[in-house]
Chain A
C-alpha cells in the first residue's frame, strides 16, 4: 500500500516537473515541495496547472472533519503559492469543500485564520477550518486550510484572460464586496494583503459578485505581484513586505480595478526593476496610465486608489461617494519631488529621493563614496532644495567621523541610514536585507528556512537600524509605537546569547504561527505549545542518548508561547557546563509545559528525561538520598509524568536539609583536615615543646622530692 502511494506521489511530482519544464525558463518555482513556494506568476501557473493530468486514484486521508484526496488536484482553486486538492466535508453533506495545502517553510497568518475560520463574510472566500496534518507529498506535517468552493471559479482564467466583467458592473460586483471585506478586516485591525485580480473568484456561476481568495496561507503580501505593492513597500523582499495598513489594501484594490478594466495585468511586459523605476519616476497612476489604456469610467477610482501619498489616497468615504455617483476631491498624480539635476550612482542617474534610496540599496558598495564625500548631501541641498534631509544626511556623516575602530561597520550603518533618510517610509535595507519593520518576523522566518540564515536580521538589529527608522517617522502613529516597543524586546533578545534568546526568540515572538524549527521536531510543524510535548514524545523514539530534549529553538518557543514565566529556567540554562542546573532547568521547563497543556502520559519523553536526569540527581549531596532518587526515577518514568519526575529532584525541603547538612559536613571535614595537617606538621615543634615541658617536669619533680625528703626527715625527727 505504501509503495503504491509512493509511486503515486512520484508520478505527481514527475508531472509537476514536466509542467515546470514546459513553462518558460524564467518562471519561478511552484510549491510541489516545501520551500518551493516562491511567489508565482499565477496566470502562467494556472495555465500550466490546467495541462496537468488529474489522477482519480483513491488515495485520501482524513484531516479533522475533512477527507482530502491527495491525488485529486484542483488547479483551478490554487491560490498564490499554495496548491488545492479535492476534499469532502465529513460533517456536512451540502456544500463543496477543497483543501489548500500551505508551504511548511512559510509562516501562515494566525490572526487571519483565527478571525476567518468558520465565519461567513460577504466578499471573502469561506474559510471552513484549518488543521495541521501530515502531507505525504511533502513527507512532513504542514497546515491545511479548508475552503468552501466558490461557485463561479477564478475571475482570471487559465489563459491569462479574464472572464468578462462589464465596466459598468465593476462597482457593484467588485468594489462593493471587496470594500466590505476590507472594512470588516479593518475594524479588527487586520489587513488582507492579497487583494489582486488573480485572487478573485466569482461568487456565483452567473458571474455576479466576486469574492476574494485566501489571504492567510503565507506572509502578508508575499504572493502579490510587484505592481500591486505601494511605492513604499515594493522595494522590500516579498517575505518582508509587512502586514501593512488598510491603505495598502486600498492601493491593491486600485491596481485590481486597473487590471480588470484593461483586461490584463498592468505593466506585465516590464521587469520588476522597470516597474519600480517607472512608478518612482512618474508615480503609480501615471505609470499605469502612460502604458495602458484605462476605460474612462475607471480613471477616477484608479487614480484615487493608486495615489502614492497614503494621506491623499482614497479611503472608504471617497469610494462610497464614487459608488453613489458623487464627485470626490481630485488627487495629485505624483507627489514625489523631482530634482533639477540628477545624482549619479554607479552610472545611473536618479532624480527623486526614493529612486535614489533604491539605487543606493542596489549599489551598496559603490554608493558609499558619494555618501561619504557629501555629494548626496549637496545634491539634496542644491539639486532638490530639501534642507531637512540634507541636514539629516550631514548628521549621519558626522556620526561616521565619531566611529571608533570598527570603521567598516560604521560605513555600512551610514549607507543604511542614508537610505532611510532618503526614503523614510520604505523598508529597512541593509546589505541585501530589505524588509518593512512590520515584516521583520516573516522576513526572518523566510531567511532562516530558505538558507540565508539569521545573520542579516541580527546585523540589522545589532546595528540598531530600526531605531533610526522610528526616528525618521513623522507624526504620532499607534502602530509605530507598538512596533517600537516590540523592537526594544528584539534588541534585548538578540543581545542575549544563551538558549531561549537570540534570533530564535525574536522569530517566535514576532511570528505567531511560526512552527518550531528545532531539528528534532521541525517535521511535526509545532505551532502551538500544546503540540510540543507530543512531538517530542515522537522524537524521543529515535533520539541519540546524549541529545537534550530542549535546544535553542525549543527553549525560545516555550519562552514565547507558554503563559508562565520561564525566565528563571532560561537563566539557569545560561551555563551549560553546570550540568546540574542545566538539566534541572530543562526538566522544569518540560514539566511546566506538561502541567499546563498535557498530555498526562509521555513515556518515551519521560524515559529520555530520566536518562538525562543523572546530572540533576547530583543536586543531592547525600549518597543515601541520591540512591533513593535513582531508584524512584525508573518507576516514575514508567508512568510518563514529567511533573512527578521534576518534583522528585525538586523537593525543596529535602534539598535545603541536604544542603545545610552538606555544608556542616564540609566544615567538619575541613576542620579535621586542618587539625590533621597541624598534628602531622608539628613534629619539631612538639619535640621542642616536649623538651621544655620535660625539663620543667624534671625540675618540678626534683623540687618536690627535695620538699618531701626534708618534710619526711623533720617528721622522723619529731616523732
Chain B
C-alpha cells in the first residue's frame, strides 16, 4: 500500500522535473517561444499550482483550452523567420492575443465547472427511467400472482 502510494508521487516528481528540464531547454534553444508560452500559459501554470485534487482535472481542463488559445500565436511566431524576443513580446502583449489566450483558459475553467452537473442530470434521468421500468414490471407481476407474491417476498426478505 505504501509502495503503491509512493509510485504516483515519484512519477509526478519526475513529470515536474521533465517539465522544468523542457522549459530550461526551451529557454536556451528558443527563448521567444519560451516567452510566448510562459506568458500565454500563465493561467494553466496558476491552475497547476493551485489544483491539488487527484488527477488535477481542473488544471488539465484549463491547460487544454489555454493551449488551444496559445497555439496559433506560437505557430505565427514560428512562421516569422526572425523569431526575436522583441517580436514575441510585441505579439503577446497585444490585448486581443492575451484575451484569446486567457479567454480560452477561462472557457476551460467553465467547462470544468459545467460538466459535472450535466453528467449528474444525465445519470439521474437514466436512473429514474430505470425505476419506472422496474415498477411497471413489478405491477405486472402482482397483477399475475396477486398478494401472495408480496407476502412471499416479505417472508423471504
B-contacting residues of A (Cβ < 8 Å)? Answer: 618, 621-624, 626, 662, 665-666, 668-670, 672-673, 675-676, 679-680, 682-683, 686-687, 689-699, 701-706, 709-710, 713-714, 717
Contact = CB atoms under 8 A, between A and B. Distances in A.
Contact of A702 (B60, B127, B144, B157): B60
5 contacts: A662-B145, A690-B116, A694-B117, A699-B60, A705-B65
Nearest to A623: B146
B66 to A, nearest CB: 8
A713 B67 CA distance: 12
A440 B86 CA distance: 129
Given A687-B120, A701-B111, A709-B71, A669 B60 contact: no
B57 A695 contact: yes
A703 B138 contact: no
Q: What are the 9 closest A-B residue pairs judged by CB atoms, nearest first?
A: A702-B64, A694-B116, A690-B120, A698-B115, A695-B57, A709-B68, A694-B115, A694-B119, A699-B60
Interface stretch (B16-24, B88-96, B129-137): B129-137
A699 B57 contact: yes
B68 A706 contact: yes
B12 interface: no
B67 A706 contact: yes
B156 A702 contact: no
Contact of B130 (A675, A694, A699): A675
B149 A662 contact: yes
A691 B144 contact: no
B104 to A, nearest CB: 9
B139 to A, nearest CB: 10
B101 interface: no
B99 to A, nearest CB: 17
B136 to A, nearest CB: 10
B143 to A, nearest CB: 8
Task: Name the residue in B60, B79, B115 with the highest tally of chain A Cβ atoms < 10 Å from its Cβ.
Answer: B115
Given A701-B115, A702-B61, A705-B65, A623 B141 contact: no
A702 B134 contact: no
B108 interface: yes
B64 A713 contact: no
A710 B72 CA distance: 8
A669 B145 CA distance: 11
A690 B65 contact: no
A661 to B, nearest CB: 8
B153 interface: yes
Given A623-B145, A673-B153, 11 more contacts: A665-B144, A668-B137, A676-B135, A686-B127, A690-B117, A698-B115, A699-B55, A702-B61, A702-B63, A703-B64, A717-B75
Given A676-B135, A680-B131, A695-B112, A669 B153 contact: yes
A703 to B, nearest CB: 5
Contact of B145 (A665, A679, A693): A665
B61 A665 contact: no
Nearest to A699: B60
Interface residues of B, number: 47
Contacts of B67: 706, 709-710
A672 B131 CA distance: 9
A697 B115 contact: yes
Contacts of A691: 116, 119-120
B134 A675 contact: yes
Interface of B: 55, 57-58, 60-65, 67-68, 71-72, 75, 79, 108, 111-112, 114-120, 122-124, 127, 130-131, 134-135, 137-138, 141-146, 148-149, 152-153, 156-157
A668 B120 contact: no
Contacts of B55: 695-696, 699
B65 A702 contact: yes
B144 A696 contact: no
A422 B131 CA distance: 84
Contacts of A695: 55, 57-58, 61, 112, 115-116
Nearest to B65: A702
Nearest to A671: B134
A699 B148 contact: no
Nearest to B57: A695
A673 B131 CA distance: 9
A669 B154 CA distance: 11
B137 to A, nearest CB: 6
Contacts of A709: 67-68, 71-72
A624 B117 CA distance: 48
A694 B118 contact: yes
A686 B153 CA distance: 28
A692 B131 CA distance: 23
Nearest to A702: B64
Contacts of B130: 675, 679
B71 A670 contact: no
A673 B154 CA distance: 11
B111 A669 contact: no
Contacts of A714: 75
Nearest to B118: A694
Task: Name the residue in A622, A666, A694 with the highest tally of chain B Cβ atoms < 10 Å from its Cβ.
Answer: A694
Contacts of A693: 116, 119
A666 B152 contact: yes
Nearest to B116: A694
Contact of B75 (A675, A696, A713): A713
A704 B61 CA distance: 10
A694 B156 CA distance: 40
B115 A624 contact: no
Contacts of B57: 695-696, 698-699
B56 to A, nearest CB: 9
Given A622-B145, A662-B145, A670 B60 contact: no
Contact of A694 (B65, B79, B120): B120
Nearest to A709: B68
B156 A670 contact: yes
B108 A686 contact: no
Contacts of A705: 64-65, 68
A691 B124 CA distance: 13
Contacts of B123: 686, 689-690
Contacts of A622: 144-146
Contacts of B156: 666, 670
Contacts of A672: 134-135, 137-138
Contacts of B134: 672, 675-676
Nearest to B72: A713
Contacts of B62: 702
A366 B20 CA distance: 115
B4 to A, nearest CB: 20
A683 B120 CA distance: 10
Nearest to A689: B123
